[in-house]
Structure formats: C-alpha cells, structure tokens
Structure 1
Amino acid sequence: VGWLGAVAAATGFALVASLTAGQSLRTGAFAVLAVAAVTLHAAPLLRVVRSGGPGGVGRAGTWALEAAAQAVALLALLLTGGSLRHAAAVCVLWGVAVAVRVLRRSESPGGRRVLAAVAAGSELVGGWLVLAARGVVVLEAYTLPAAALALGAGLLALRRRPGLTSWLTLGPALGAAFLPSLVSVLVSGEPQPWRRLALGAAAVAVVLGGAARRWQAPVVLGSATLVPLALHELARGWDLLPRWLFLGVGGLLLIGLAATYERRRRDLVRLREAVARLG
C-alpha cells in the first residue's frame, strides 16, 4: 500500500509540476509516462521472494505495482487529449520501456510473454496512430502489421508447443490479413485491381504453404478467400463477355459432372477426409 501510494504521489507530482512550468497536458503526459516506466522497472527490484523484508514487497505486491505502472501509462495516453501524434509517441515510448523489461534475465517465462504482448500491442497501436495522423487510408497499412504480429506469435507458439492446432496459432493472423481486404473487394464499388490481384495471389500462396506443411487453417481460410473472390471476378466479367460463352461453359461443366458423377463424389469424399487429417 505504501509503494502504491508513492506511485500515486509521484504521478500527481509529475503532472502538477508540468502544469506549473506552463506546459500543456499533452506535454505533461510524457512526465507521467516517465513515472510509469520507473515504476515498471523498479517493481522487480522491490520483490523479496522469501517472506518480505523491510521495504520489500512480495509477489502480489510486485504484480500490483506492475498493474499500477500500466494504469499510469494509460493515464498518460488519456492526457494526450486526442492528439494523434502525442498519443502515438506515448504508445511507442511505452512499448520500448516494456520491451526493455522483457530483456531482464530473471524474468519468468509467463511474465515475459505477457510483457512482450503488451510491448507489441503498444507499438502496433502507436503505428496505427502515426498512420492516422498522416492521413493514410490504405486498409492493408493497418491490417497487415497486426496480422504479421499475430502470425509471428502463432508460429513461435506452434514451434514451442507442437500439440497446438493451426486454428489457434495461425487462424487469427490469417483472418486479420484476409477478411478486411476481402470485405473491401466484395462491398466496395471501386475496381481495386491491385488489391484483388494481391489478395488472390496471397490466398493461393497460403493454400499451397498450408498443404505443404499439413496445416488445416491456412488451407481452409485460403480456400474460403479464393472462392468468393473467384465468384466476384466472374460477376465482374459477366458484362464484359458474351452471354453465350457462360451458357456454353456452364453446359459443358454440367455434362462433365453428370458423366463422372460417381468419380467426383469419391474425389469430394477423399478431399474432405484429407482436409480433416490436417493439423
């Protein structure tokens, strides 16, 4: 309780001192962030694992101080007052401070994973805010960094724990990469030729890579992206090609399916079984 009170007092002092010096709240946010960084790095030094000596804190006290550091950092973000540039700077600096804490040798594996997630999330939000401040409106500029971050974490988890399924490790990253772009292609009335081409090429690459590594999530999600994208391309080409061409191709396909119905049905069953065997 004493250490938490000290953190609260230091936070108030940093803010009041900045305002007394004639600085704005946005500038005072960095002084508050400095208090959060000091608290975050001082918490492990105050831990006394045995029974808690004079001036020391136990594990629960350390967790409370770390939570207080995160709360003070959030307060610093709120003090930026809607300024995207100041908010981005706070997020980036806080991500660096947390990342430095991850490098401590005595950090537990569980605590290191949590801190790494906080650092990565803070840097990601900071990058988004920078893009928004610069007026960047390209959708993939926001979605692909998040997808790459999730993909890296998923691959690392899959490497350390081979028993995990590809849906848990790779599914969120692939969903973040494909779904926003696919929705934009299907809903938007603009042609977006380069987005359609890049999305299709990426989906094909993911399907092939997933099939080679025997991962179910990339195969299913890549295919689920390719099918509506292909139908969308057919719909766009409906007005560009003569109607008889579609009727002729459709008739030939129906004749071929009818002539080889039993074989196609067995192929479909084998395909379903093969997908089910993927990890």
Structure 2
Amino acid sequence: MTVFEALKWASSFLEKYGREASAAEWLIKHELNVSRTELLLQMQDQMPDFASFEAKINQHASGIPVQHIVGKEEFYGRTFRVNHHVLVPRPETEELVEGILSRAKRLFPNPEKATIADIGTGSGAIAISLALELQNQNVTAVDISQEALEVAKENACQLDASISFLHGDLLQPLQGQTFDIVVSNPPYISEEEYATLDPLVRDHEPIRALVGGEDGYVLYRRLAEGLPELISSPGLIGFEVGEKQARTVAAMLEASFGERIQVEVVKDISGKERMVFGIVT
C-alpha cells in the first residue's frame, strides 16, 4: 500500500466513524515523521508500517484525541507535550496570550521584568509562551494537579523557559506576594454543559480542567475576590472565558476592584466574546 492509498483509506474510515478526515493527515505525518511538504513528495512511496498507522487510526476512531495519540500539540509556534492529565491547548487561548503581550508592552516600561502569575497552568502553554515572548524570567505557574505540573515542567525544560512552579489551589500558593500580571484560563464549563460535550473532550480530558462548578463561574468568583490583594498597581489581569460568560466575569472584577479597574471585553477571531482584560490603577 502506498502512502497515498493509506491516507485515502484512513480519511474515509474516520469519516465513517464521525471523525474529521483531516486527522488522518495529522496522524500519517506523525507516523512518517515528516512535514506536509515532505508528505506530498512521498505519496507514491510504500507505506513503511501500515499496521502501526492503522492502530493509530483505530484509536482515534474509538474516541481518543489525536493529541493524546501523538502526545503533543502546537501552541503559539511551539510544540507542547500533552497527555490525559492536562487540557489540550486550544487556538483560542493563543489570542489570550496575544492580548496579554500587547497590553503588557503598552502598560509596563520593561515588560521583560514584570512579575507574572499563570493560575491553573495545565500544560504550561500560557506561562511558557509569555516567558519566552517577553524574555521574562519572573513567571510563576500554579496548578492544583501535581500530574499537570509535571507535564508543564517537562515542557518548560524542553523549551528552555525559566518558570517557577507551585502546587496548590488557585491563588492560595501566592499569598503574601504581588504580581504585575495575572492570567488565567480556568475551568468554566457548567456541570450541565459537561454532560453534552463531545466525547473526544469529555471522556479523555481531565474534568478538573473543564468544569467550573454548577454554573461554570465558581473559579472566576474566587479569582475576582482574591485578586485585589495580589495584583500590583498598575497591574494587568487577563481571563479566557466561555461563550456568553464575558459580561458576567467583567462585572465580577468591577465589583471587586471598583474604580481601581478598567475592564475590557474582547472578541476572538470568530467574533465571540471570549476574553476579559482588566487594567488596575
């Protein structure tokens, strides 16, 4: 069987099971360890190990995310290791990173020296991206999951990012400190919504990284209540939020900070209100 024939079979097979046909190309590139350009040049070559590729296709058809099969995901131009202990980084979260970067460069004379905290770091994608983009060595990443922290530490080591990792619940490990920038993409799915998620997500990504309590706002409430003691002046806060949550989360920050904060709700590339930024004075 040629590479072309293997890819054609895999695409049709996945579509039959309700999966995206594009996953076949992702998996065959991983199997052959080639770029897309190299794949196109090898289409008429013999498939070296069809059985191994077939096994990966069957795994994805059965409901295992592609990222867990290949053990990695791309985020902000870098490759991050992922597994079932962490949420797979989403493209939308890259927009949160971009929003923090642009505002940090406007707000702070020396953003490379700003102190940054990433709450609920998961794979470390946000913290590591900010550290590397800003050439900043003052980044602290917190997670309640020790297993997630191990993944994040491995990613930081692999990408040569200087990060301080702390194990604990939300802001608790940071008590007594202050930060110029606090960023978080906390769990924000309600318990009711969780039951309706795509099985690729619901059955394979950690529930602790997805569900934000009965109504999806539990962690935002706790963050909003605790941040006035943690954020410097001037300071920058950035949250990713679920669809239709932005205005409520913005109101939480305004209630906690009063006139000290200027809150901005920002739409993502799809036109959905998915980010909330606050500038503290």
Task: Provide TM-score, normalisation by structure 1.
Answer: 0.26
Higher strand fraction: Structure 1 or Structure 2?
A: 2
- Which structure would you say has the larger RCO, counting Cα contacts within 8 Å and 6 or more residues apart? 2
Instruction: Pick the structure with more helix per residue.
Output: 1
- Given the two structures, how large is their TM-score scaled by the length of structure 2? 0.26
